[in-house]
Amino acid sequence: TRLGRPTKFHSFGCRVSTQDRAGYDTCRELRIRHLLTGERARLPDLPRPRDSEEVVFSGDLVVTFRKCCCVLYYCHIGDDHWQAVYCDVGHLPYDLMFVKGTLYALIYNYSHYRLAVVKLGKNSAVLSFLGDKLSVPEVNCPRFWLAERRRELLLIVEVEFDPCVYHVFYLHSGKKKWERTTSLGGCSLFFNLHEFAGCLGPDHPAVRRDCLYFTGCSGKWSEYSLADGSYHEFVIDHPGRTEDYGSPVWVLPSIC
């Protein structure tokens, strides 16, 4: 990355995207790199850089968006430009997640959230809604993350803050509704500051089972146990660290 420029990182497994920019509305460089193989690609410049705050990718398909903004941008690695697609009025993507090549979106509709499968067309994003609506309070609205456990889509909800408490839900295929679970089958989920980063199975002895791991600001990360409800926060201490130190990202070679 370029020195002197703020850089944002997003990751899934060993693939990492970096976004460099000099200012809020200036052109941002978006790159994808595989940290084990060294494979890398620079993507085309976005027509509206400020609408690119989050990045998800699957294979050679890259999608970027801004939370609660009606436009999505997508391209394949090697394309010369991005394709902009728009959701219908009132449907605002809050989070996106690829599972087995299918793109899912958590859609915000002013008073509730709802899950949808997204088909990226030429000019529009076609939404096929799944499951029931999730009503939210007007104040102290919880935070949500889409996640994956062994190719099963999950919804993570932060129901309390300081200390944090999280609930985990899965979409019951028969009832078509979200149901809460208190077990991840021994797996552990990892999240960057705004998005899901990966899942490790119970065969990783260095990782506690049935836990959620989050990165935070100032070089912090946290661990929440679904088994006993405990929450612990840690600081990545290293020479030269300051309070302005940015948010780290998880890199998980085992899921590549």
Q: 225-242: per-residue pLDDT in tens?
A: 999 999 999 988 777 666
Residue 63, classified by CB atoms within 10 Å of its CB into exposed (0-12), middle (13-18) or buried (19+), is buried
Q: Which residue has the higher pLDDT, 42 or 5?
A: 42
pTM listed for this prediction: 0.89
Percent of the residues in the chain that have a pLDDT greater than 70, as a whole number: 88
User: Bridge partners of 145?
Assistant: 156
CA-CA distance, 12 to 34, in Å (whole number)?
10
CA-CA distance, 210 to 199, in Å (whole number)?
11
51 phi and psi angles, rounded to 5 deg: -90, 5
pLDDT of residue 244: 63
| pLDDT band at 5; cut points 50, 70, 90 | low
Question: How large is the average pLDDT for residues 239-247?
Answer: 67
CA-CA distance, 74 to 86, in Å (whole number)?
11
Sign of the Cα torsion 190, 191, 192, 195 reads positive
The SS3 call for residue 51 is helix
Mean pLDDT for the chain overall: 86
Residue 196, classified by CB atoms within 10 Å of its CB into exposed (0-12), middle (13-18) or buried (19+), is buried
Give the Cα-Cα-Cα angle 38, 103, 106 (nearest 5 degrees). Answer: 120
Question: How large is the average pLDDT for residues 141-153?
Answer: 89
* pLDDT 10s digits, 47-72: 887 788 889 989 899 999 999 899 99
Question: How large is the average pLDDT for residues 168-174?
Answer: 84
Residue 126 reports pLDDT greater than 70: yes
CA-CA distance, 38 to 52, in Å (whole number)?
24
